[in-house]
Amino acid sequence: MITDIDVLLHPARLLIIQTLLQQPGLSTGDLCARLPRLSQASLYRHLRTLRDAAVVQAEDGTSDKGHREKKYRVTPGADSLDPDAFMQLGHEGRMAAFMQFLAQLQTAFSEWSGSGDADLVSDGVGFRQAMLWLSDSEFTGMMAELRALYDRYLGYDSTPERRLRSISTIVLPRSYGPNYAK
């Protein structure tokens, strides 16, 4: 876990992290091909920042043509923020981080919606909110089950019949205001 939220939540670095989580072991050339909106100079700069923060690590590898090149992967556990560091941001900092997260979702939704061939049903797009009455123990159990479910599918490789899908989760306690029991 890292303590600098700006390293993780920068839009370009988030794209790099997400790409490497989907397909570890990519070279800078591979990343440039998958992230055409990032210039090569920008990609190198953000990779250096991610390496300096130990979010990604580089390993020596070889290209298809036999040339030596660095292959990048996300350092295990480094793709999440240390909870203590997050709490130390204070209200304003946490709100800024949350707004960056929401902006990433809005950008992805806008790209999908404006793609010209967006189909809510076949694309499986949706957003829902569920209110659950759960004890702390029940909530912890449910989150462990969700993590296990995600872990089961995270290792799937890209194939012609598979589509990359983004599932984002926001969990908030609702124990405030006059209509909620504490």
- Does some domain include residue 31? yes
Whole-number pLDDT of residue 1 = 44
Output the tens digit of pLDDT for each of the chain's 182 residues. Answer: 445 677 877 888 988 988 898 888 999 999 999 998 899 999 999 999 999 988 999 988 776 777 788 999 998 877 677 788 788 888 988 888 888 888 888 888 998 999 899 998 999 998 888 899 999 999 999 999 998 998 888 777 778 998 888 888 888 887 665 665 55
- Does some domain include residue 181? no
Whole-number pLDDT of residue 44 = 94
- Separation CA 154–CA 4 (nearest Å): 25
- Separation CA 82–CA 3 (nearest Å): 5
- Separation CA 8–CA 10 (nearest Å): 6
Burial 14-52 (b: 16+ CB within 10 A, else e): bbbbebbeeeeebbbebbbeebeebeeeebeebbebbee
Range of the domain at 14: 4-114
* Residue 169 Rama label (left phi>0; alpha psi -120 to 50; beta): beta
DSSP-assigned states of every residue in 84-111? HHHHHTHHHHHHHHHHHHHHHHHHHHHH
- How many whole angstroms from its chain centre is CA 139? 22
- The CATH number of whichever domain residue 53 belongs to comes to 1.10.10.10
- Does some domain include residue 79? yes
Return phi, psi of residue 12, to 5°. -70, -40
- Does some domain include residue 8? yes
- Does some domain include residue 156? no
- Does some domain include residue 53? yes
117 contact partners, CB below 8 Å, separation of at least 6 = none
- Does some domain include residue 110? yes
Per the structure, how many domains does the chain have? 1
DSSP letter assigned to residue 159: -
Whole-number pLDDT of residue 179 = 61
Strand partners, 172: none
Q: Which of 75, 69, 38 is nearest to 56 (CA)?
A: 75
- Does some domain include residue 127? no
